Amino acid sequence: MKKMLNAVWMFVVFQTFVIVSSQSLAQTNEPVKSVLIVGDSLSAGYGIKVEQSWPSLLQIKLDQVHQQGPKVTVHNVSISGQTSVEGAAQIEQLLVNTSPDLVILELGANDGLRGLSIPEMKKNLANIIQQSQQAKAKVLLLGMHVPSNYGRRYSQMFHNTFQQLADEYNTALVPFMLETVATRKEFIQPDGLHPTAEAQPLILEHLWREIEQGVK
C-alpha cells in the first residue's frame, strides 16, 4: 500500500510539473508588450494592400527582433480620413482594449488639409497624449507638414504644434513622418498625398529608432 501511495504521489508531482511547465512555456510565447497606432490614411494603408503598410511591416520586424525575447503585438486602429477630434473621442476605449506600452500618435494631417483650427487640433492631440500617459504608456508623436499653398503662417504654426506638444509632455517625436519619401515622386501615389507600397519600408526605417526605444 505504501509503495502504491508513493507511486501515486510521484505521478501527481510529475503531472503538476508538466502542467506548470506547459503553462510557463505558453506564457513565454504570449505577447507581453503592445503597440497602439492611432492614425489616419498614412498608417491605414490607403491605396495599397494592408499587408504592405508600414504598421504591418512593423509587426514583421518586431517578430524578427524579438524572436528570443518578449513578444510585441501591434494594434493598428488607423482610419482613412480620421482627424484629431475622432482620435480624442476614441482613445479612452482604445487604451482599455489594448493596454499599450507604446502609443504611436499619427494624427493631424486631415486637420491641416481641411484648414481646421490649430489650437483645437493641439487640444485634441494633448488629450490623447495625456490619457495615454495616464495609462502608463509611452507616446511617440509623428509630425507632419501641410502643402505650402496653405500659406506660410498656417503651415509653420501647424508643423510647430508637434514640437510644442513633444516638449510640453516630454514625448518622443519624429518631426516629419514622411521626410524620406515626401519629395520623391516615385514614392508618392498619383493623388500627390499618399506614399506607395515601395515607400512603406523607408517610412518604417525612418521611424524605427524611436519605436525600438519605445518598446524597450
Chain mean position to CA 147: 25
- pLDDT given at position 92: 98
- Residue 31 banded pLDDT, cuts 50, 70, 90: low
The torsion angles phi and psi of 141, rounded to 5 degrees, stand at: -100, 130
Domain 32-214 superfamily per CATH: SGNH hydrolase (3.40.50.1110)
Q: Say if residue 18's pLDDT is above 50.
A: no
Quote the pTM value.
Answer: 0.85
Instruction: For the chain, give every domain's residue range.
Output: 32-214
- pLDDT given at position 30: 59
List residues with catalytic annotation. Answer: 41, 191, 194
Mean residue pLDDT across the chain: 88
- pLDDT given at position 115: 87
- Residue 113 banded pLDDT, cuts 50, 70, 90: very high
- pLDDT given at position 148: 80
The torsion angles phi and psi of 195, rounded to 5 degrees, stand at: -70, 150
| Each residue's pLDDT tens digit, 50-97 | 999 999 999 999 999 988 777 999 999 999 999 999 999 999 999 999
- pLDDT given at position 133: 98
